[in-house]
Structure 1
Amino acid sequence: MTPPTLLETRGLTKHFKVGGGFSRRRLHAVDDVTMTIGRREILALVGESGSGKSTIARLLAQVYKPTGGEILFEGAPLSSMRGRRRQMAYRGDVPMVFQDPFSSLNPAYRVSHGILRGLKLHRPELARAARHEEAERVAEAVGLSAEILHRHPYELSGGQRQRVGFAQALAYRPKLILADEPVSMLDVSIRIGLMNIMTGLRDNDGVSILYITHDIASARYVSDRLMVMYGGHVMESGPTESVLTDPRHPYTRLLLSAVPDPRAPLDVAADTATTEPPPVINPVPGCRFRARCPLAVEECGRVTPELRVLGERHEVACHVA
């Protein structure tokens, strides 16, 4: 059953100017991405570094302004959002948890400072005492004791700092959390705790999550749906188990070949492991994975493949899938 749509993008595009002066070179970080995130859903966005994953998160967080396309939240386009009150409401509904837990907290203040400041900005109806009670509640919701609110960030481990990041987001009563590689800098032994927090936020608090990662194993553990990106394009998307047990795009198979799994037998040729970077500066039409693809045909160099449905909610952008 498909969950109701919370956020949707239509043809979302972001290009960056490369070089100075009158340079016409443009880096196509994200090109024509159409996606949906449902209520109470975790969508994992997977791909190599430079594939455009974090750019999408920053577009959704309104850090970047789109070059083209539209973002709709609860059916309303963000481009029509006017006034500070509406923008603050959206940022409270869609907060972001960053990759680096060591630099996302201000070392000069106690842990409680960021949570209380966020509550004052995004939930002004709460009195001072109620804000402190809510700070304790969200700390306990992510597996921290209330005592930790009185510590400084340098007194916390990496895992504790990242939990504080989720606590800050949860304090706003969000509808969607943008989690950009939230466990990549943590020891393997404590990653599972953070992933359990994400599934708990979905199951117990009804929060949707965009989980950005290059780790397919963790994506399989937490996500309901999976979207694979390469060179600013979406290569494949669908229910997580469908994509990982029956990968249709050669790039998805390449990613999975690095994570052997007996449930997903693969036959990826060794020559797909070349390090040819995707052509994202003033790219010409065609599949951006063609230089690394063992199945590439002549059409792949001329026509950019569009996503097409090959199964139940399973879409692939490939001419020969």
Structure 2
Amino acid sequence: MDRNDHAPLLQTVGLTRHFRIGGLFSSAKLHAVDDLSLTIRPREIVAVVGESGSGKSTIARLLAKVYEPTDGDILFRGRSLHEVKSRRDLLAYRGEVPMVLQDPFASLNPVHTIGYTLDRGLALHQPKLTAAEREVEAIRALEAVGLSPARQVLAKYPHEMSGGQRQRIGFAQALSYKPKLVLADEPVSMLDVSIRIGVLNLMAKLCAEEGISFLYITHDIASARYVAHRIVVMYAGRVAETGPAEQVLHHPVHPYTRLLLSAVPDPKAPITITAADTGEPPRVVNPGPGCRFRQRCPLAIDICARVTPDLADTVPGHAAACHVTAPQAGLAA
């Protein structure tokens, strides 16, 4: 069955998160995420792409219920997460939607073996399993992510594993809970280039063979191109462009998406010196109306400073938030 034939696994509706900054009487608010509407379907990898400060990791922490939203809602399998309040319900949800962190070493306790770490997680999220069943499940998860012989891995400590192996342990820990959706927050950014492709292949394999969906947070649009079915481009807390990966990457509409793609090195291109991206960094503290990319945008016009652009379809399923390019693309389509 095609991925798009399934009902949504997770949806966000107008998801917003602001952080109050400054002193007790300060009215300053940092707009980390504004009005995010996102859909993730079964057996789908959705990549959220953007530079540092774009709100990517805040989205992952909202979906993991580390942060509570300022406004909006998150629906998991049709149920609002506002209803997930008890510790039991929260542990059950986090077992179905676990998070794999950016730093594979910091996410593992250095004084405990891999076996202890996996067993402890299973005891929390799968409390009905016996100790023997937890060991079987841990071995299954390690073998599924390519770590074998699994029993030897269980006896090792984190410092005895390489960076790539530790990241695979993070995926194994998530996989042992039999999740529906894994939140992968920059899972390859701290790994050597030579082993990143192995972790990306692992994500694709788990999606295809285990039926697990992924929200893949990354600043590297090249890796998103390699592994994602759909891409969401974020800038300063708002969605700039979203759509099927091939459509967004081969027919980018938003100027920011074009900028990200222009920064991806082409090994076949001659070596040249090009002008760097210029302009002011985005304003995310009390940003006010207007497009947040306008200070860096070569196409900005007067309305960009006055009106915040809404996401508009250029072709069905592919949308961009731009006053200049999105209407033109829609007319051309």
TM-score relative to the length of structure 2: 0.92
Q: Verify the 8 A CA contact 2:294 2:305 in the aligned structure 1.
A: yes
Answer yes or no: is 1:283 the counterpart of 2:287: yes
What is the Cα deviation at residue 55 of structure 1? 0.3
Question: 305, 313, 322: which is aligned to 1:301?
Answer: 305
1:319 aligns with 2:323: yes
2:331 maps to what in 1?
none
Counterpart residue identity of residue 234, structure 2 = M
Q: What secondary structure, in the 3-state scheme, does the structure 2 residue paired with 1:5 have? A: coil
Does residue 1:130 correspond to 2:123, yes or no?
no
Matched, 1:40 2:9: no
Q: CA deviation at 1:217?
A: 1.0
Find 1:205's aligned residue among 204, 210, 213: 210
Using the TM superposition, give the Cα deviation of residue 262 of structure 1 relative to its aligned residue in structure 2, in angstroms: 9.5
Within the alignment, does 1:244 sit opposite 2:244 as a pair?
A: no
Which SS does the other structure have where 2:300 is aligned? coil
Residue 130 of structure 1, CA deviation: 1.3
- Post-superposition Cα deviations, 1:150-194, rounded to whole Å, max 9, x if no partner, equal 000011110011000000000100000000000000001101110
SS at match of 1:44: strand
- Residue 217 (structure 1) aligned to one of 217, 222, 225: 222
- Aligned-pair identity (%): 63
CA distance in 1, matches of 2:11, 2:275: 37
- What residue identity is the alignment partner of 2:167? Q
Q: Aligned-pair RMSD on alpha carbons?
A: 1.4
Give the Cα separation in 2 of the matches to 1:64 and 1:54: 11
Deviations 1:265-306 (A, max 9, x none): xxxx947x1152111101110000000001111110000000
1:56 has 2:56 as partner: no
Moved more, 118-127 or 189-198: 118-127
Tell whether the 8 Å contact from 2:279 to 2:295 is kept in structure 1 after alignment: no
**In 1: Cα distance, 2:208 partner to 2:142 partner:** 18
Please list the CA deviations of residues 103-130 of structure 1 after superposition, one character each: whole Å capped at 9, or x if unmatched: 1100010011111111111112221111
Task: Name the SS for the 2:295 alignment partner.
Answer: helix
1:84 CA drift (Å): 2.0
Determine the C-alpha separation between the residues in 2 that align with 1:212 and 1:25: 27
Which residue in 2 is equivalent to 1:99? 102
Moved over 4 A (4+): 260-263
Task: State TM-score, norm by structure 1.
Answer: 0.95
| One-letter amino acid of the structure 2 residue matched with residue 206 of structure 1 | G
CA contact (8 A) 2:104 2:163 kept: yes
Encode CA deviations 1:28-48: one digit per residue, 9 max, x unaligned. 010111110111100000000
